Structures are given as C-alpha cells and as structure tokens.
Amino acid sequence: MANQAIHSPTLNWYLCAIAESNIDPFTINVFQDPRLRAGQWEDFTMGADISSELLDASYKSLMSGFPEFVVPSYRKFMEVFTTNMQKYYAEEVTAQKAMDDTAKEWSVTIDRIGKDKIRQYYSEIIKQMPP
C-alpha cells in the first residue's frame, strides 16, 4: 500500500518537493506546478532555470520510456522478476527459462489479485501521467 500511496498526485507532488525524497516526478500536476517550475521546493530554493530544466528532462524521459509498473503486489512482481534475472545473469538458466519462470509465477499472482483489478489500478496511474 505504501508504494501505491506514493503514486497519488498529491503525495507525488509533496515528495518531489522535498529534496531528499529520491522520488522522481511523474504526475502531470508536478510537471505543471508553477512553484516547482520556479524553483520553490519545500526545503530549499533552486534556480528557476535549473528547476524547469530538471522537470523538462524528467518529462522528456517519460515520453521515451514507459510508466512505472505500480499495481497491487508490485513488490512480489519485481521480486520474481529480479530473482529470475539474477539466475540468468549467473548463467544458471537461459534467458527464455528466466522469462518463462517469471511469467509462470506472475500468473499465480495475477490470478490471486485479478486481471481486472490490476488493469483498473494501472489505468488510474496512466491517467495521471503526461500524454
């Protein structure tokens, strides 16, 4: 739940406004906020040119990437993926086996949560992101 809470527009703005939060901006309200674009962050002031440049660079990177996979049981999905990739990198399994094992384990988690619930949650995250 904590990971899901971080991705609410209000909390994303607040965490982005704290210099040491290590949370990257990704919601529309953060990219468009005039206070942040002007360099007026919560606990320090940054030059407006640097602040706008940072937000613009982050926005641009989102345009060429993909949204973070934030859904219920996010940690379980990433744990399975990471474990299987580590096996591949350690040459314990082939790339195909690592992906097949990941898909098999993810299917169990998806069945437990429900595809519709995952789709609904992810679509809500996507709506908050730049087009």
More reliable by pLDDT, 3 or 39: 39
Burial class (CB in 10 A: 0-12, 13-18, 19+), 71: buried
Domain residue ranges in the chain: 2-63, 74-127
Residue 113 token pair = 């949560």
**129 in Cβ contact with 28 (< 8 Å):** yes
- Which amino acid, 82? T
End-to-end CA distance of the chain: 26
Calpha distance 43→78 (Å, rounded):
32
* Chain segment 21-65, per-residue pLDDT in tens: 555 666 666 777 777 777 766 655 555 566 677 777 777 777 666
pTM exceeding the 0.95 threshold for the entire prediction: no
Residue 131's alpha-carbon distances to 46, 87, 120, 124, 125, in angstroms, are 27, 36, 18, 13, 12
